[in-house]
Amino acid sequence: MILTCIFSFTGCVNKLAKENKTEISESVNYPLKIKDSYNREVTIDKEPTRIVSIAPNITETVFALGKGDRLVGRTDYCDYPESAKKVTTIGSLTKPNIEKIVELKPDVVIASTHFKKDVLSKLEKLNIKVVVLYGVETFDGVYDTINKVGEVLNAKSQASKLVSTMKEKVINVTNKVKNASKPKVYYVVSYGKMGDFTATGDTFIGKIIEMAGGINVAKDSTRWQYSIEKLVEKNPDIIICSKYFDTKKGIEMSNGYKDLKAVKNRKLIEIDNNLLDRQGPRIADGLDALAKIIHPDLFK
């Protein structure tokens, strides 16, 4: 009986030791040296408590990692989650207000795609720490960015859990649709007078359409460009558009589009395009939303 208790106690001690070791290994030691997406080695002197984000996907990641209370600045486009709107804005993605950023006294500024090198140069001259983080346009690229943000913010375990949850969702969705018939899908980025732009075959969104169990009718084109003539020729089964800016109503009245099979058959369906445009924590939700539009019967 005593031996059993001793062995049991020893097992508990060993288990606790392993758990503590895991926790220690997940903790970040500062100063931290990190290589960013501009191939710069940036030294973060201490755990950041004042963060400025210059990209919506970074803002969403900061909140998803439980560090939203440390965000002191964000761009005009950073509108998710709702609490992000309460954070001071520093202007646009491409032309942030340098004076406002300096005024906020950030420990680190985290930027992503669309960040201009001349802005970086100005901030560096003012001794502002800047880390530029963006991955290749794949799910793995998104995961890598999330993990790096987690490292910068001493939230590696939170980042790991978030990535695991996203991976699980991606696997569940792709498994559900893998044996289903594949309808022809067209994703509207822009239309009409603004020009016809879509998620072509070389885009991440184009690839996500295929992962969601659809045939991307624009996969034979590149650089987001398409034509109404080609679209009429392909005549997709489903057209997906943004739920913002009355896009659906505009398409229903637009020459060329209004006569398409998908529009006539009420298969012009809205989506929150931010789920797909922003390569952050909600990108797996974007895949899920697309799959539910393309294969609604599989998700009842």
Whether residue 27 lies inside any domain: the answer is: no
Where would I find the beta strands (DSSP E) of the chain? 32-35, 41-44, 51-54, 71-73, 108-111, 130-132, 184-190, 197-198, 215-216, 238-242, 268-271
Instruction: Work out the pLDDT band at 214, boundaries 50, 70, 90.
Output: very high
Residue-wise pLDDT tens digits, 245-255? 999 999 999 99
Residue 93: CATH number of its domain: 3.40.50.1980
Average pLDDT, the chain: 93
Identify the CA nearest to 133 among candidates 152, 160, 106.
152
Q: Does 188 lie in the same domain as 145?
A: no
Q: Does 294 lie in the same domain as 187?
A: yes
Under 8 Å CB-to-CB from 58, ≥6 apart: which residues? 110, 111, 112, 133, 149, 280
Q: Which amino acid is at 46?
A: K
Residue-wise pLDDT tens digits, 120-169? 999 999 999 999 999 999 999 999 999 999 999 999 999 999 999 999 99
- Choose one of 154, 188, 217: the last residue of a domain: 154
Whether residue 26 lies inside any domain: the answer is: no
CB count in 10 Å sphere of residue 121: 11
Under 8 Å CB-to-CB from 4, ≥6 apart: which residues? none
Q: Does 129 lie in the same domain as 38?
A: yes
Whether residue 36 lies inside any domain: the answer is: yes
Q: Does 144 lie in the same domain as 61?
A: yes
- In 80-98, which positions are buried (b, 16+ CB within 10 angstroms) versus exposed (e)? beeebeebebbbebeebeb
- Choose one of 120, 154, 188: the last residue of a domain: 154
Identify the CA nearest to 209 among candidates 165, 248, 174, 246.
174
Q: Does 146 lie in the same domain as 243?
A: no
d(CA 288, CA 166): 11
Mean pLDDT (whole number) for 99-108: 99
Whether residue 230 lies inside any domain: the answer is: yes
- pLDDT value, residue 26: 79
Q: How far is CA 17 from CA 4, 6, 10, in A?
A: 20, 16, 10
Whether residue 126 lies inside any domain: the answer is: yes
- Tokens (6 digits) for 206: 């184009």
Under 8 Å CB-to-CB from 215, ≥6 apart: which residues? 182, 183, 184, 185
- pLDDT value, residue 5: 40
Q: Does 145 lie in the same domain as 36?
A: yes
Range of the domain at 150: 32-154
Q: What does DSSP assign to residue 161? A: H
Q: Does 195 lie in the same domain as 94?
A: no
Q: How many domains does the chain have?
A: 2
Q: Does 220 lie in the same domain as 148?
A: no
Identify the CA nearest to 57 among candidates 81, 38, 90, 89.
81
Q: Does 197 lie in the same domain as 139?
A: no
Cα torsion for 96, 206, 166, 18, to the nearest 10°?
Answer: -90
Q: Does 146 lie in the same domain as 40?
A: yes
Instruction: Work out the pLDDT band at 24, boundaries 50, 70, 90.
Output: very low
Q: Does 147 lie in the same domain as 50?
A: yes
Instruction: Work out the pLDDT band at 8, boundaries 50, 70, 90.
Output: very low
Taking 3-state DSSP, the helix, strand and coil percentages for the chain, each rounded to the nearest 5, stand at 45, 15, 35
For the chain, the first-to-last Cα distance in angstroms comes to 54
Whether residue 14 lies inside any domain: the answer is: no
Whether residue 144 lies inside any domain: the answer is: yes
* pTM of the predicted protein model: 0.90
Residue-wise pLDDT tens digits, 34-80? 999 999 999 999 999 999 999 999 999 999 999 999 999 999 999 99
197-198 and 184-190 as β-strands: parallel, antiparallel, unpaired?
A: antiparallel
